[in-house]
Amino acid sequence: MVDVHEVPRPRIATGHLAQHIGKPVCFVGRVEKIHPTGKLFVLSDGEGKHTTVELSEPLDEEISGVLEVVGRVTNQATIMCMSYVQFREDKSPFDLELYNEALKIIHEFPDYFPFG
Amino acid sequence: AIMQGEEVSKPVLQVINTRAIATGNGPPRYRVLMSDGVNTLSSFMLATQLNSLVEEERLSAQCICQVNRFIVNSLKDGRRVVILMDLNVLKTADQVGGNIGNPVPYNEGQGQQRSSAPAANPPPSKPQQQNSNLSVAGPAAPKYHAPSNQFGKASAPSSVKTPGGSQTKVVPIASLNPYQSKWTICARVTQKGQIRTWSNSRGEGKLFSIELVDESGEIRATAFNDQADKFFPLIELNKVYYFTKGNLKTANKQYTAVKNDYEITFTNETSVVPCDDAQHLPSVQFEFVPISDLENTPKDAIVDVIGICKSYEDVTKITVKANNREVSKRNVHLMDTSGKLVTATLWGNEAEQFDGSRQPVIAIKGARVSDFGGRSLSVMSTSTVVINPDSPEAFKLRGWYEFDSEGQLLEGTSISDARGGSASGANTNWKTLFEAKSENLGQGDKADYFSCVGTVVHLRKENCMYQACPSQDCNKKVIDQQNGLYRCEKCDREFPNFKYRMMLLVTIADCLEYQWVTCFQESAEFILGQKANFLGELKEKNEQAFEEVFQNANFNTYEFRIRVKLETYNDESRIKATALEVKPVNYREYSKRLIASIRRNAQLG
């Protein structure tokens, strides 16, 4: 499997999952629930819709707040996570709704925001 | 003759005015005021099949028509209504030019009706369109309530039950005069002043004034002393009451703009009773001016405006020098769909009680335009301020502001901030450098101010500092006397020291353009991240570290507040830009502006 970090990975919201099955993506969302096994967690995007993220290895740390996940979309419209980054919100909160607005524009004007 | 029930064939009448009456579900019905040259009568209704005549403006005020077919209906209370079934327009309004003869209202014993336009319209002195006043569309004077369905409710307004059970006739405001002492009017309070006290050689007292309006016109009323105490808590703005028996005297025009030759003074016989059936009375009438038009409005003009209160300041107390009194004032900032912001000043109680939370829609009637800071508004004692009025304009504004993405994200360009140096939230004027250059900002007589987001791409190290006078408020360059002393010409003194002052020339750039900007002390220190004095020493002692400061400052992005002005130096005129303030970029606000801008441009296609 090609490393998702070496190919372009469009930023998506929950609504775009269906169009990107099998493709590498980048998803930003807020942590809603973590499965007790630590191999699954749920993120909500700027519109409040939920996406499930799976891991090959269980989590080894506590995660909370806003996360950016890079991974591949599975056939069940979940994301197989390859790596993630926690956003620091100590200086100022991350405006997820505004991010969602920006996402809409990116997808609305693909000429100006080409993916790769 | 028609009213007497006689058969008249094909009378020729002149239309004085037409009025639309909303019927709920169904086409509007038009009521027409007709004249036969001798009398006028408003009891004419147009059959709905003739509605198109009014809508196409063939039947309009002052046109002459011949009635081919009509029916006379008698109402329960004895009044007669003429329904116009078929008519021809003989001469259209513009061919006629004016009212023929001097018709007086036909008196059916119902009380006077003015021969000029029905009172729901603004008084005749205001410039009127010659076309029929279709109150439904309401181009000039938007009305808040549907005009009266005078035929449907035959009981109102001709009679009213006072609590005592006796019936009194209600007369129109326009008919009030000093020769009639027993009258009752049913009117809405469109303006209520504060209680004012006075004390002069003849004694002292208190009063408050109100403005009343009904369909026939408006009038001012004043209550003194005991009546002031009695009625001030009872009478509320925008509510309707029956007012009975007061004194009528000639109006003192210098105190009021109300259009009536007379005004009312309450006496101890005056009674004020709330009226429930008030749907037919016009509410406060506004003629709104878009905020962007205010820039062309002359100073001291009186205007009506409506806008969302985007932000407001705290109430402050200032002392009026004239009479050494303390008065409260508050500035509020209004924005409308023109995208412009204006600052309006509220005074006294209104300032203190103002609640601007949740960004209400504010309508102001009769605000005075001042040229403070460009254009601002001042609310006077004769102005009326309505918060969240129940009107189509208010709903439209609220809808635009809440749901239209442009409304939400628009920062608004303030016309009250022409000299504004500080960028405070809703008042900033954001431009890209490209826009600033293409709009030729700074080339007028006055300096122009704008804010932009830019990246530092170059800093001039050479001559970025000068030796300045160490005195507190003096920044003049000192002359090195070469004897350990430095002379300041402005202070006319010599000092053994100086302070370093920065004057840094920076090139900033955005996606399309670049601009040379001069940064003085505070801005320069912010960009370089070091104090001027420290830098001065560093330059002398450690060149390399000095250079490093400049390297690190390069390619950082900030928000700049810039002042551009045309300056002449040795016969050469150049646009000079100064950075007044440099701040870190607020990415959230920046994103919002960009998104709004993208959406706006996308709509333009």
Q: Is A47 on the interface with B (CB under 8 A)?
A: no
Q: Which of B53, B88, B105 is the last residue of a domain?
A: B105
Residue B257 lies in a domain: yes
Instruction: Estimate to the nearest angstrom the gap between the alpha carbon of B264 and the chain centroid.
Output: 29
Domain assignment present for B56: yes
Cα–Cα distance, B252 to B245 (Å, whole number)? 20
Q: Report pLDDT digits (tens) over B371-402.
A: 776 678 888 766 777 777 777 777 888 777 77
Contact residues on chain A for B595, CB-CB shorter than 8 A: 98, 101-102, 105
Q: Is the pLDDT of residue B445 over 50?
A: yes
- What backbone torsions phi and psi does residue B454 show, to the nearest 5 degrees? -145, 160
Residue B207 in any domain: the answer is: yes
Cβ–Cβ < 8 Å for A46, A15: no
Q: Contact B544/B493 with Cβ under 8 angstroms?
A: no
Same domain, B400 and B505: no
Lowest mean pLDDT across A5-9, B161-165, B170-174, B521-525 = B161-165
Taking an 8 Å cut-off on Cβ atoms, the answer to whether A95 and B595 are in contact is no
Q: Do A105 and B588 touch (CB under 8 A)?
A: no
**Whether residue B450 sits in one domain with residue B541:** yes
- Note whether B195 and B226 are same-domain residues: yes
Report the relative pairing of strands B413-414 and B514-520 from DSSP bridges. unpaired
B595 to chain A, minimum CA–CA distance in Å? 7
B264 vs B215: CA distance, rounded Å: 17
In-domain check, residue B447: yes
The Cα–Cα gap between B77 and B158 comes to 10
Residue among B588, B599, B602 minimizing CB distance to A98 = B588
Cα dihedral angle (A105, A108, A112, A116), rounded to 10 degrees?
100
Structure-block tokens of residue B38: 């001798």
Claim to verify: residue B556 and residue B511 sit in the same structural domain: yes
**B296, B266: one domain:** no
Among residues B116, B114, B108, B61, which one has the least CA distance to residue B89?
A: B61
The answer on B486 and B379 residing in a single domain is no
The closest CB to that of B591, out of A98, A108, A109, belongs to A98
Instruction: Compute how many other C-beta atoms are within 10 angstroms of the C-beta atom of residue B337.
Output: 19
- Which of A66, A91, A99, A101 best tests the B interface by mutation, with the highest count of B CBs <10 A? A101
Q: Are residues B176 and B269 in the same domain?
A: yes
In this complex, which of A95, A98, A105 lies closest to B598 when CB atoms are compared?
A105
Q: How far is A102 from chain B (nearest CA, A)?
A: 7
Identify the domain containing residue B247 by its residue range. 167-274
CA–CA dist B560, B426 (Å, integer):
16
Q: Between chain A and chain B, how many beta carbons pairs sit less than 8 Å apart? A: 17
- For residue B261, being part of any structural domain is answered with yes
Q: Tens digit of pLDDT for each residue in A34-49?
A: 998 889 999 999 888 9
B502 plus B568 within the same structural domain = yes
**CA distance to A30, A34, B483, B543, per residue, from A61 (Å):** 16, 11, 69, 48
Structure confidence at residue A52 (pLDDT)? 92
Instruction: Please check whether residue B285 lies inside any domain of the structure.
Output: no
End-to-end CA distance of chain B: 64
How far is Cα A90 from Cα B481, in angstroms, rounded to an integer?
53
Q: How many domains does chain B have?
A: 4
Q: Where are the alpha helices (DSSP H) in B485-558?
A: 521-528, 532-541, 543-553
The domains of chain A, with CATH numbers, are 11-107 (2.40.50.140)
Q: Token pair of B470, please?
A: 């160490």
For residues B398 and B468, membership in a common domain is answered with: no
| Boundary-marking domain end, from B218, B244, B274 | B274
B358: amino acid identity, one letter: R
Chain A CB within 8 Å of residue B598 CB: yes
Q: Whole-structure pTM over 0.80, yes or no?
A: no
**Tokens found for residue B509:** 């750039």
Contacts with B592 from chain A: Cβ below 8 Å? 98
Q: Which of A102, A108, A109 sits opposite B591 (nearest CB)?
A: A102
Considering the domain architecture, whether residues B95 and B216 belong to the same structural domain is answered as no
Query: Is B451 within a domain?
Result: yes
Q: Indicate the pLDDT class of residue B30, thresholds 50, 70 and 90.
A: confident
Q: Is residue B320 part of a domain?
A: yes
Same domain, B217 and B343: no
Tens-place pLDDT, residues B204-263: 888 888 888 887 778 888 888 888 888 888 888 878 888 888 888 887 766 666 677 888
CA Rg value for chain B:
33
CATH number of the domain to which B452 belongs = 2.40.50.140
- B555 & B449 share domain: yes
